[in-house]
Amino acid sequence: MTLSRRHLVRNAAVLGTAAVLPAAGSSWAATPPPQRPAPSRRRGKAPSPRTSATEPFTVPLHVPVPLRPRRMIGHDFHQLTTAESRVELLPGAPTPIRGYNGQFAPLIVARRGRPVLIRQVNRMDVPFAMHLHGGHVPQRFDGHPMYQAEPGDVRYYHYPNKQRASTLWLHDHSHGDGHGHEHSDSAESIYRGLAATYVLTDGFEDALPLPKGRYDVPLQIRDAKFEDDGTLSYDPQGFADRPTFLVNGRPRPYFEVAARKYRLRLMNTANDRFFLLRLRDGAPMTQIASDGGLLPAPAQVWAVPLWPGERIDVVVDFSNYPVGSQVVLESLASFPGETPDVMRFDVVRKADDPSRVPGELRPAPDLGTPVLEREFRMRFDPQTGRHLINDRVFDMHRVDFRSRLGKTEVWRVVNEDVEMGLPHSMHPHLAQFRILDRNGRPPGPTEAGLKDTVTVAPGETLRFAVKFTDYTGLFMYHCHMMNHVDMGMMGQMEVVR
Ligand code: C2O
Ligand code: CU
Ligand code: CU
């Protein structure tokens, strides 16, 4: 932490990378992501050029109200119907979406130790398989394509919720006709709206004085491309042409906040886009959690690198701003010509604030001593246009390896795409992991907690320790850039006794 903030922010603007984070322990500097930073602008100047579907900050943030479960003995029961419907994402131009219960980005709040049962009806004309990303869930309920619901089908999902409080999400994991075709529908269905927030709470977290209730806000951040009539246009390889940023399904919204601390659950639900989020005035944020819940200790950050599938919770203290001020959250990693604005916080009132961020949060669990190491080489094959893991594309009829229940493994993820400069991520189902090192260097405080999705820069090698427990069967692992998944970058493991 010897670099000055100015220095860091300047580097962020130049590189658009996470290397600017004093705490990231990451090495993006050597390998900028494919997106280039937009030139940084001074506060107060009008955005130019305007490429979004709507003028920034003209639409209020949608804060989802948790879906109301039926409280049954021993569990919460939800009905989730997936269907095509129309939702007014942009003012005055309803957008056809694929949603849950007619909603775009709804919210389920669940409690550790209290299972959730979901009756899921697929009223779409495409298959659907629901996956709880980050969830510790039996094979049957994990969204494996062999169980996918064809149009008209009904499925039941049982989520045990035997894991730490964390921000998870529910998204489609269907795969074509379910018979092993390489093409997947899930990328398109996620893009069209099948991404719900699933906040898992527990007593440990409740006992901490962190911001709670209305001061704890999930923010699903993603990009999209709209036609003038409000239609979402989708091109699997069109990741560089999705200029509208959505937060909880609204274009670059504003959010009226009180002058106090908020917990913001930043989630990247975009198919392919990297966000490097910061407050435009350069004020620090306090990172308290990553994919798997609270960090061992909070970390001060000036920018948050958020790759597809990842979640990072930060606490932002708006009491540092006089009532009447406006604070923009922007992404330093936008494509040229894009508006970097993500959303704006409008400080509109004073409020009491009994919350604070303790100096210690939650120790990371001990995952035990590894018994073996596996290697995953990630690369794009320009010959075939496919994305490969260990030289293979996904085949749901092939088991790529077997893992033993309860044995700790090390996964070494090597990104071989140096020439193409492509980032790749790794996301195993069933378990969350702990990062051991990046290019041999231990992780910084922001990566010291549990994670389930991690991105590896071109040329970089990352190792994490993971232990699969409780449930045997077939589980997927994959890159979470959806256009890469679409082109084969997924594998299947079998967890055995
Ligand atoms: Cu969010 Cu299999 O992934
Ligand atoms: Cu997942
Ligand atoms: Cu990839």
Q: What percent of the chain has pLDDT over 70?
A: 88
Give the Å distance between the CA of 444 and the centre of ligand 3: 23
Q: Residue 192: its pLDDT value, please?
A: 96
Q: Is the pLDDT at 411 greater than 90, yes or no? A: yes
Q: Is the pLDDT at 35 greater than 50, yes or no? A: no
Give the Å distance between the CA of 269 and the centre of ligand 3: 15
Query: pLDDT band at 334, cuts 50/70/90?
Result: confident
Residue scoring higher pLDDT (181 or 161): 161
CB-CB contact of 252 with 61 (8 Å): no
The residues facing 317 across adjacent strands are 261
φ/ψ of 148, rounded to 5, equals -65, 150
φ/ψ of 139, rounded to 5, equals -45, -50
φ/ψ of 318, rounded to 5, equals -80, 0
Angle value at C-alpha 493, between 426 and 424, nearest 5 degrees: 15
pLDDT digits (tens, 9 = 90+) for 275-284: 999 999 999 9
- Radius of gyration over alpha carbons of the chain, in Å? 21
What single DSSP character describes residue 437?
A: E
**Which atom of ligand 1 lies at the shortest distance from residue 429's CA?**
2
Query: pLDDT band at 183, cuts 50/70/90?
Result: low
309 lines ligand 1 (CB under 6 A): yes
**Which atom of ligand 1 lies at the shortest distance from residue 476's CA?**
2
CB-CB contact of 57 with 253 (8 Å): yes
What single DSSP character describes residue 447?
A: G
Mean pLDDT across 18-29: 32
Q: Residue 258: its pLDDT value, please?
A: 98
Number of neighbours of residue 241 by Cβ within 10 angstroms: 13
Closest CA to 305 of 465, 193, 444: 444
Q: Is the pLDDT at 26 greater than 60, yes or no? A: no
DSSP per residue, 154-218: EEEEEE---S-SEEEEEEE---TTSSS-S--SHHHHHHTT-EEEEEEE-HHHHTS----GGGEEE
387 lines ligand 1 (CB under 6 A): no
Number of neighbours of residue 383 by Cβ within 10 angstroms: 6
Give the Å distance between the CA of 302 and the centre of ligand 2: 28
Number of neighbours of residue 32 by Cβ within 10 angstroms: 19
CB-CB contact of 247 with 253 (8 Å): yes
Nearest CA to ligand 1 atom 3: 133
Q: Is the pLDDT at 7 greater than 50, yes or no? A: no
**Which atom of ligand 1 lies at the shortest distance from residue 143's CA?**
2
429 lines ligand 1 (CB under 6 A): yes
The residue written with tokens 């018994």 in the block is 371
Closest CA to 454 of 309, 277, 312: 309
Residue scoring higher pLDDT (103 or 180): 103
Alpha carbon distance 21, 412 (integer Å): 23
CB-CB contact of 318 with 368 (8 Å): no
What single DSSP character describes residue 146?
A: G
Alpha carbon distance 172, 128 (integer Å): 6
Maximum Cα–Cα distance for the chain, whole Å? 61
- Quote the mean pLDDT of the chain: 89
Query: pLDDT band at 109, cuts 50/70/90?
Result: very high
Q: Is the pLDDT at 29 greater than 60, yes or no? A: no
Mean pLDDT across 193-213: 98
φ/ψ of 136, rounded to 5, equals -100, 95
Which protein residues have their CB within 5 A of the ion that is ligand 3?
424, 479, 481, 484, 489
Listed in sequence order, the residues at least 6 apart from 148 whose beta carbon sits closer than 8 Å to its beta carbon are 127, 128, 129, 173, 174, 175, 178
Angle value at C-alpha 245, between 229 and 451, nearest 5 degrees: 135
Mean pLDDT across 137-163: 96
Mean pLDDT across 108-137: 97
pLDDT digits (tens, 9 = 90+) for 387-407: 999 999 999 999 999 999 999
Mean pLDDT across 313-320: 98
Q: Residue 175: its pLDDT value, please?
A: 84
362 lines ligand 1 (CB under 6 A): no
Q: Residue 185: its pLDDT value, please?
A: 78
427 lines ligand 1 (CB under 6 A): yes
**Which atom of ligand 1 lies at the shortest distance from residue 477's CA?**
2
Q: Is the pLDDT at 23 greater than 50, yes or no? A: no
Give the Å distance between the CA of 231 and the centre of ligand 2: 28
175 lines ligand 1 (CB under 6 A): no
Alpha carbon distance 281, 92 (integer Å): 32
Q: Residue 257: its pLDDT value, please?
A: 98
Beta strands (DSSP E) in 439-496 are: 450-451, 454-456, 461-467, 473-478, 490-496
Q: Is the pLDDT at 304 greater than 70, yes or no? A: yes
Length of the chain (residues): 497
Nearest CA to ligand 1 atom 1: 133
Q: Which residue segments constitute the domains of the chain, with CATH numbers given?
A: 5-30+37-42+210-350 (2.60.40.420), 70-206 (2.60.40.420), 372-496 (2.60.40.420)
Query: pLDDT band at 184, cuts 50/70/90?
Result: low
Give the Å distance between the CA of 272 and the centre of ligand 1: 13
DSSP per residue, 355-375: ----S---PPPP-----EEEE
pLDDT digits (tens, 9 = 90+) for 368-379: 999 999 999 999
Q: Is the pLDDT at 342 greater than 70, yes or no? A: yes
Q: Is the pLDDT at 381 greater than 70, yes or no? A: yes
Q: Residue 78: its pLDDT value, please?
A: 97
62 lines ligand 1 (CB under 6 A): no
How many DSSP H helices and E strands does the chain contain? 4, 32
CB-CB contact of 100 with 194 (8 Å): yes
Which protein residues have their CB within 5 A of the ion that is ligand 2?
133
Q: Is the pLDDT at 48 greater than 90, yes or no? A: no
Q: What percent of the chain has pLDDT over 90?
A: 84
Mean pLDDT across 224-247: 94
Q: Is the pLDDT at 16 greater than 90, yes or no? A: no
Alpha carbon distance 193, 100 (integer Å): 8
